[in-house]
Amino acid sequence: MQNLGLVLCVANTQPPGTSGPEVRRACERAYFPILDVVEEYTQLRLSMHWSGQLLEWMELHAPDRLEQLIRVVRTGRIEVLGGLHGGAVLPSLPERDAVGQVQQSLRWWRQHADLRVRGAWLPYFAWDPVAPRIFGRLGLQFSALETAQLGTGASGDGYWLAEREGSILALFGADPVISRMIPNASPARIVDVLAARARAGQRVVTVAVRGEDFGAAIDSSATRSFTGERAWVRRFLNALAEASPWLKGVHFGTVVDRLRPSGRVYPPASVQASVAAAALGGAAGNAWQGLLADVRRGNDPSLARVAPFLRIPGWEATLASSPEVLRLHRRMLRTSREVARLRSLLREDSRDRDDQDGLLEALNEATAALYRGQNGSAYVHGADVGAQLGDIRHQAWANLIRAEYAVHIALGDHDRLVVEQADHDGDGRNEVIVRTPSLCAFLSPAQGGCLTELDSWTLPGNVLNVRTRVGEPHHDAVIRGEDLPQLVEESPDVTTLIIDDEDDTDETTVDETDRAVRMAGKNLAGRLNYDRHVRGAFVDHFFGPETTLENLRSGRYAEAGDFVSTDYQLLSVQDDTGTEASVSLARDGNVIEGTALRLVRIVKRFAFPSELPLVDVRYEIANRYHEPIRTRFAIGIDLNLDSECGADVFLETSTGRRVRVTEAGELDELTELSLVDNNRGFRLTLSPRQPARVWHFPLETVSRSPAGIAPLFQGVALYLWWPMELWGLEKRRIDVALSLEA
């Protein structure tokens, strides 16, 4: 049997905003035991990536463990993979930030361990064709993708060379079959699969696993393991040792130094399969996954001819399917430009040394916050921890806003009123951006003249951090699971639906899709509701008599008007000598009343006073027809900060009545309604001057989470509405103020 080299790569990462106690638990449960095992098994060779957040936490809170890591690295047992210090998705970044993050990682290891890092880890295997230029010019020599991402030119094994503008990067193909078998299959079965690879003439197999899965399987069965056995890793390492005559653990760098490349590849932009499916959206993601499954199972022989040309979508597809990721990403780009502006001014600045030091300190603070706000967890779906979690999005929003505010303070313009028009979201239409000393608002005339983002500098955070409810690839499995009897009950709250009855340890059953769907909660199919428009604040609706709270909540209601998500005309943008900015918009549209079609005009004016954290909105609704119209006019406002929905987060009326944000209902004749978060210490108050009825309900999606497929709270939907009867050519005025106390 031919000798086989096994490159075992373990990635240790934590999402942004993970609390200190949670990081410690993850370290003690998974990451630190890996270090102990490496010291125990002296022949073991691991390649490891540690995210910047973990390294910085260890430096402050576990210096002995950091010393242990550095000591083991110096023995040559652990090969360090650097890369993007903040854990970003490479294609999401401006090149200046990608370079900055890689340089920060290289500096950290050089300063703390006197180590020259040779390799780069790509979170979510998010590949961009510019990677060889970025990594190669900074001295990094190799990285890894899933084998399917390498493209049709990747014949053979070992590694391939990718090139961009003369810079070269060695790319290894991580074996998806064996990677998914760890730690779910028996060690003996994995060794059998490796032996089959060796008999087929393969020289090197690359396996990439999450540190949380690998480390937790060292002394417990706390991972999602179908074996259910303890001390899985030690049994696995013993099995590898028994196979040592033909199976050798090696590092990426060793392979590059000793073996010739298998050829040259030019992979297109791509991302790991689960994230790619989520990026395509529900129906398209299901179709793509189904096609991959048919190829694997050989159901259609004709597919075998085209299988090598099936392309994995790039991360950018997420921007088309996920409005919340698009908004966050655009804000990240804006913040990046602001930080770059401060950096450029610092280079050109000729002030004295003390002023220079102050600017440099502000730049370092803003850069650190920017990099934290670029963490890839907030920019992907399809992973258990991703943008579907409101607290993950919030951490990114908070860090980006913190970074931008640090720039404004450094430049001395944080107390100014600034108004600009720019195509912020890249839709070909300008948005209006208003920045006051308290708030930053983004108004989109092309999306129904609504607010798409409202940031508080002091929280900091975006109080419109909601998620639009859309189809997701696992929803079909959730629907099928309601009727299938093949369920394994794990606990009263968690059910595992087996969607493939083949032997789990058989490598042929492992493909790019999940083989089992963990469903946390009951009646998930009944909680699958979808939105007909992208959510925001001050979205204008007209409802007929058939619209109710129930069908509005489910998204199965009739819209009597055509004002939602349509173009509004931008009438004026005014800055009143720095004391107040105002934006006026209008639309002439149609409203259906029975079988009749009425012409209605809405003019709305947003006012942003400089001295108050307030948005004052004035509506003028006019019947442009000579016949009367009877309808209901509603303003939709969707609020959320970090998806906290415990007892300390509630709606409160002016009379002191409290309603939990997870409840649905109707409130009558209100002139004040507040969203209160006692944990964060903020109160967001809506004040309609004309008493309004309010429908409220929680926004939730059935999405992936660390607990499995589960309902996730995404915010609270509020609909302020008024019965409206307008005679021919009659007008009516409605005023609503939104204020923030933080």
Strand order in the sheet with 649-653: 569-576, 580-593, 596-609, 614-623, 731-741, 682-688, 673-677, 649-653, 658-660
Angstrom distance (rounded) from CA 259 to CA 203 = 9
What tokens appear for 610 in the block?
A: 């400089």
Lowest mean pLDDT among 272-281, 342-351, 683-692, 716-725: 342-351
pLDDT at residue 482, as a whole number: 66
Taking only the tens place, the pLDDT of each residue in 680-712 is 899 999 999 999 999 999 999 999 998 889 999
Lowest mean pLDDT among 281-295, 425-439, 587-601, 621-635: 281-295
CA angle 544–466–13, rounded 5-degree value: 155
Q: Cβ of 711: how many Cβ atoms within 10 Å?
A: 17
- Regarding beta strands 580-593 and 596-609, do their DSSP bridges make them parallel or antiparallel, or are they unpaired? antiparallel
**Taking residues 716-726, what's their average pLDDT?**
97
Banded pLDDT at 517 (limits 50, 70, 90): low
SS3 assignment, position 34: helix
pLDDT at residue 597, as a whole number: 93
C-alpha distance from residue 549 to each of 467, 552, 592 (Å): 20, 5, 19
Query: What single letter denotes the amino acid at residue 495?
Result: T
pLDDT at residue 514, as a whole number: 43
Peptide bond into 460 cis (omega under 30): yes
Q: Where are the domains of the chain?
A: 4-267, 271-316, 322-414, 483-522, 537-741
Pairwise pLDDT comparison (457 vs 521), residue with the higher score: 457
**Taking residues 674-682, what's their average pLDDT?**
93
Say yes or no to pLDDT of 520 above 90.
no
Taking only the tens place, the pLDDT of each residue in 275-300 is 999 999 888 888 888 887 777 777 77
Angstrom distance (rounded) from CA 661 to CA 36 = 45
Say yes or no to pLDDT of 500 above 50.
no
**Taking residues 435-450, what's their average pLDDT?**
97
Pairwise pLDDT comparison (49 vs 490), residue with the higher score: 49
Say yes or no to pLDDT of 731 above 80.
yes
**Taking residues 669-690, what's their average pLDDT?**
95
- Regarding beta strands 247-249 and 4-12, do their DSSP bridges make them parallel or antiparallel, or are they unpaired? parallel
Query: What single letter denotes the amino acid at residue 522?
Result: K
pLDDT at residue 16, as a whole number: 77
Q: Of 511, 517, 525, which Cα lies nearest the Cα of 288?
A: 511
- Regarding beta strands 649-653 and 673-677, do their DSSP bridges make them parallel or antiparallel, or are they unpaired? antiparallel
pLDDT at residue 352, as a whole number: 63
Angstrom distance (rounded) from CA 117 to CA 80 = 6
Return the residue matching tokens 């129930």: 550
First to last CA, the chain: 68
Q: Of 329, 331, 328, 342, which Cα lies nearest the Cα of 414?
A: 342
**Taking residues 206-235, what's their average pLDDT?**
72
Q: Point out which residues pair with 700 in neighbouring strands.
A: 713
Taking only the tens place, the pLDDT of each residue in 550-585 is 999 999 999 999 999 999 999 999 987 789 999 999
CB-based burial of residue 602 (10 Å sphere; 0-12 exposed, 13-18 middle, 19+ buried)? buried
Pairwise pLDDT comparison (153 vs 141), residue with the higher score: 141
SS3 assignment, position 289: helix
What tokens appear for 281 in the block?
A: 């959206």
Pinpoint the alpha helices (H) of 247-322: 252-258, 273-280, 282-297, 303-306, 317-321
**Taking residues 457-465, what's their average pLDDT?**
96
SS3 assignment, position 391: helix
Say yes or no to pLDDT of 433 above 90.
yes
Pairwise pLDDT comparison (14 vs 641), residue with the higher score: 641
Taking only the tens place, the pLDDT of each residue in 42-96 is 999 999 999 999 999 999 999 999 999 999 999 999 999 999 999 999 999 999 9
Banded pLDDT at 395 (limits 50, 70, 90): very high
Banded pLDDT at 184 (limits 50, 70, 90): confident
**Taking residues 411-419, what's their average pLDDT?**
93
**Taking residues 664-678, what's their average pLDDT?**
96
Return the residue matching tokens 């639309």: 587
Taking only the tens place, the pLDDT of each residue in 309-321 is 778 899 999 999 9
pLDDT at residue 483, as a whole number: 56
| Mean pLDDT for all residues in the chain | 90
- Please give the backbone phi and psi of residue 627, each rounded to the nearest 5 degrees, phi first: -90, 150
The CATH number, out of the four listed (3.50.50.60, 3.40.50.300, 3.30.470.30, 3.20.110.20), of the domain defined by the range 4-267: 3.20.110.20
**Taking residues 245-255, what's their average pLDDT?**
96
Say yes or no to pLDDT of 226 above 70.
no
CB hemisphere CA count around 286 (13 angstroms): 10
Percent of the chain's residues with pLDDT above 70 = 92
Class of domain 537-741: mainly beta
* Contact call for residues 292 and 304 (beta carbons, < 8 A): no
**Taking residues 209-216, what's their average pLDDT?**
90
Contacts of 447 (CB under 8 A, 6+ apart): 534, 536, 565
pLDDT at residue 487, as a whole number: 41
Q: Of 382, 705, 710, 703, which Cα lies nearest the Cα of 519?
A: 710
Angstrom distance (rounded) from CA 541 to CA 622 = 14
Say yes or no to pLDDT of 592 above 60.
yes
What tokens appear for 332 in the block?
A: 């990240």
Say yes or no to pLDDT of 426 above 80.
yes
Angstrom distance (rounded) from CA 140 to CA 137 = 7
Say yes or no to pLDDT of 222 above 60.
no
**Taking residues 448-454, what's their average pLDDT?**
97
Return the residue matching tokens 């689960």: 274
pLDDT at residue 297, as a whole number: 75
Angstrom distance (rounded) from CA 584 to CA 602 = 11
Q: In degrees to the nearest 10, what's the CA dihedral of 554, 629, 600, 726?
A: -110
Pairwise pLDDT comparison (739 vs 576), residue with the higher score: 739
Lowest mean pLDDT among 45-59, 337-351, 669-683, 725-739: 337-351
pLDDT at residue 706, as a whole number: 87
* Beta strand ranges found along 175-212 (DSSP E): 204-210
Percent of the chain's residues with pLDDT above 90 = 78
- Please give the backbone phi and psi of residue 388, each rounded to the nearest 5 degrees, phi first: -70, -15
**Taking residues 453-466, what's their average pLDDT?**
97
pLDDT at residue 521, as a whole number: 61
Say yes or no to pLDDT of 458 above 80.
yes
Taking only the tens place, the pLDDT of each residue in 149-180 is 998 777 778 999 999 999 999 999 999 889 99
